[in-house]
Amino acid sequence: MNDDIDQVLIGRDDLDRRVTEVARQIAGDIGVAASGVGAAEITIVPILTGSIIFVSDLIRKLPLPMQIHLVSVSAYPGRSTRSRGARIRSQLTSLPEDLADAHVLVVDDILDTGGTLGIVRDLVLRSRPRSLRTCVLLRKRRPAAMAFPVDYVCFDIPDVFVVGCGLDYNGYYRNLPDIVTLRQEVTAGADA
Ligand code: IMP
Ligand code: MG
């Protein structure tokens, strides 16, 4: 697996440092918003599967009472390195119909075209949350991603295909602890 790596773009220590920083910012913002009238709840909506590593790191740095509702979206089926359009595959734990008391934080691994975050945001909005924020580990420096409204971004990266820390190619490499690019031979034949 390590032989397939071309370059390490973001190492594990930098990831950890930045996630801590962003968690502090989120805890501050939501903490303030939630300190008003009534028992405000925080609901984390991780987008599967790519966000699993990031969200587990992030929420352990958020000292706030929270619930978690998973949603599953697919945009990069199989051996593709370009988005094929985002689609909701399943809601593993269905979102409550009424999120009126909840401050919702939608979490994804990477913002590329914005399709994925867009459909999940629309889905959550139907449950009328008290507030809605979005957070991604990575954002690609490409016009569609930079123009897409998102509240928290840990890192902006070049417009290249990356894996690790939850991100996959054809289902693999999610467990790599750094954000890396793959050697060209590995993804040769992708998007054919
Ligand atoms: P979007 O819907 O085009 O914004 O793409 C977001 C989704 O596509 C993410 O949740 C990822 O699962 C996947 N994705 C986008 N770029 C990459 C990448 O460079 N590597 C792996 N997955 C990616
Ligand atoms: Mg994903």
CA 96-90-20 angle, to 5 degrees, is: 70
Q: What is the pTM of this model?
A: 0.91
> Residue 114 in contact with residue 144, Cβ under 8 Å?
yes
- Per run of 10 residues, the mean pLDDT along the chain (length 192 residues) is 95 98 93 62 91 98 91 71 66 66 94 93 90 97 97 98 97 98 92 72
Q: Which of 83, 87, 178 to mutate to test the pocket of ligand 1 (most atoms within 8 A of CB)?
A: 83
- Which pLDDT value is given to residue 118? 93
Query: CA 24, CA 153: separation in Å to the nearest integer?
Result: 13
Query: CA 124, CA 121: separation in Å to the nearest integer?
Result: 5
Q: Is the CB of 182 under 6 A from ligand 1?
A: no
> Residue 10 in contact with residue 48, Cβ under 8 Å?
no
Q: How far is the CA of 98 from the centre of ligand 2 (A)?
A: 25
- Which pLDDT value is given to residue 145? 97
Helix axes 52-59 and 12-34, enclosed angle (nearest 10)? 60
Q: How far is the CA of 38 from the centre of ligand 2 (A)?
A: 34
- Which pLDDT value is given to residue 88? 65
Residues with CB under 5 A from ligand 2 (ion): 50
